[in-house]
Chain A
Amino acid sequence: MIDANTFVGPYPFRYVPHPDPDALVRVLDREHIEAAWVGHLPSAFFRDPGAGNDALFDALSPYTGRLVPVPTIRPDWPHWDRALADALDRGAVAVRAYPQQWGFGSQHPALTELALSAGESGVPLILTTRFEDLRQRHPLDSAGDLPAATIRALARAGPRVRLLVTAAGRALIEEVHWGLTPDERARVWWDISWIWGPPEDELAHLLRTIGSQRFVYGSGWPLRLAQTPRANLDLLPDELRSPLAPLGDAAQIPARSA
């Protein structure tokens, strides 16, 4: 199993204990997770994420095969297409973008271009719904949650688009999923890091109504406890808990690794 939603590096708005690759590897061992897709947390807040990508590849180089780099591509930046090609050459299996942190609206043409280009290259674009609960954000953290309209627009952009949306809750997922055609829905995956379990059983509801193959394992480490997605799976109703992990496989999202 892959944890498709992890980062290394500090967070600008609060102290996060040891957000380092070696700590992540220990956590994966403890949680019996084979590998992680890893982003560079500070890059989400950089205007130009290029230096962050270099830092990410350097930091993860001792952990090849275990920690898989997911660099950030900012598509309104000059030569972003070169940055994407370079990232793919260096082994990226997915790329991240942060439209909320960059002030993009839901129909931003550059973001659509990035989704299409990544899709043509066979890699998914990872979008982050939120880093923190809206109720605790720093006054300077004025970026709102990722809106459903942004996700729908990207999913509709072309048949090769692949999106992995992290940290979404039930309402956002349902608004996107049921607002797409069946073909478009098949282009979108969701991590389970921010979907509630019992007593409301929202994860169980989504697995029943949308289907388990649209969901992948993700934690949000180092911001969030790595134990959370496992606990959620452990508390599914019996008919959904067998087998234990009834989820899609993040490794199958990138077309070029299929």
Chain B
Amino acid sequence: MPDAAPGTAPLAGREPLVDVHAHFFHARAGRRDWEMPNRARMRAGERIGITVHIASILGTWGHTSPVYFPSPRDVSLGNDEMLAIQERDPERVRTYATVNPNDTAHALDEIARCAERGAVGVKLAASRRADDPLLDPIAAAAQRRHFPILHHIWQHRTRDWPAQDISDGADLGRLARRHPGVAFILAHIGGGGDYRHTFAAVEDIPNIFLDLSGSGVDRGMLDDAVRSVGARRLLWGSDITMDTGLAKLRALEHVAPPLDAAGMADVRWRNAARIFPAGSLPGIPLLDAKPAMAAHAR
């Protein structure tokens, strides 16, 4: 991948680094400056040293249907735009197929269609609570393709929040227990709410992986995450604040209990290599082939 500048090491070093939680924008998402954040993501990614951005687009980001309840038309549009970005930058970008499980047939068709075009995972936002039976066929479709599911999560859902059917770690845990052959990525432990509730809710569920993204940079959060699920179930990501992503990557070098080199590699890229389809992430070395869930144990 390109360096930050000729001869300059990336800020996070040269070892592979996978961002499992990225987003892009497009022209029909209601903002004139949509290219600016896309360019900024790639600029910052080069500077940090991100090998591959695994990203999604949630429909039209609220422009013609709600962000977390996108219409079928907008779901397909967003996925098309995301796949087009991947096709323009195949060495650095991969796609989650975003679906709205309320439109079950469309969601399943969309997973199949996007898989044909090179998607590597499924993105579920907050269109339906994570433990709802409507998610079962989605999870089954993901399992058939060895796709992980990135699920938007509120850390400890103590009430409803506007504009979303929000889920928390306990909700996702019920879905994950019904589908032990699927790797679930619990989104952004720094994305709002009480992450300590999440850690307690999922520590015993080996097919749930925690993504470190989100704007939250609470001291103690990373230490607690390592302590509760171990380095083998943590994934690095940025979501919409790459500065906090870099800060957390640096802070991982100082967590207690400390991470050794193998643990850091797990968080940076090896866990992603284990749960995404083999060979689907550009620039990421292949690991020994083994069932993904076998590697989940702490």
Contacts and interface: CB of A to CB of B under 8 A. Distances in A.
Q: Please say whether chains A and B are actual partners in one complex.
A: yes
A198 B43 contact: yes
For chain B, give the interface size range: 35 or more
B243 A224 contact: no
A8 to B, nearest CB: 13
A222 B43 CA distance: 30
Contact of A198 (B40, B251, B254, B256): B40
A225 B36 contact: no
Interface string A9-27: 0000011110000000000
B223 A196 contact: no
Query: For chain B, what secondary structure do more than half of its interface residues adopt (helix, strand, loop), or is it mixed?
Result: helix
A136 interface: yes
Contacts of B196: 14
B29 interface: no
Contacts, number: 99
Interface in B1-49: 11, 36-38, 40-41, 43-44, 47-48
Contacts of A17: 219-220, 223, 256
A235 B219 contact: no
A84 to B, nearest CB: 31
A227 B247 contact: yes
Query: For chain A, what secondary structure do more than half of its interface residues adopt (helix, strand, loop), or is it mixed?
Result: loop
Contacts of B154: 135
Given A200-B40, A201-B36, A234-B11, A16 B220 contact: yes
Contacts of B155: 136
For chain A, give the interface size range: 20 to 34
B36 A227 contact: no
A199 B246 contact: no
Contacts of A227: 217, 246-248, 250-251
22 contacts: A15-B220, A17-B256, A136-B193, A196-B241, A196-B244, A198-B44, A199-B40, A199-B41, A199-B44, A200-B37, A221-B219, A222-B219, A223-B219, A224-B217, A224-B219, A225-B248, A228-B244, A231-B246, A231-B247, A231-B250, A234-B11, A237-B43
Interface of B: 11, 36-38, 40-41, 43-44, 47-48, 154-155, 192-194, 196, 215-220, 223, 240-244, 246-248, 250-251, 254, 256
Given A196-B240, A225-B218, A227-B251, 12 more contacts: A15-B220, A135-B192, A136-B216, A196-B244, A197-B44, A200-B241, A201-B36, A224-B218, A227-B250, A228-B217, A228-B247, A235-B48
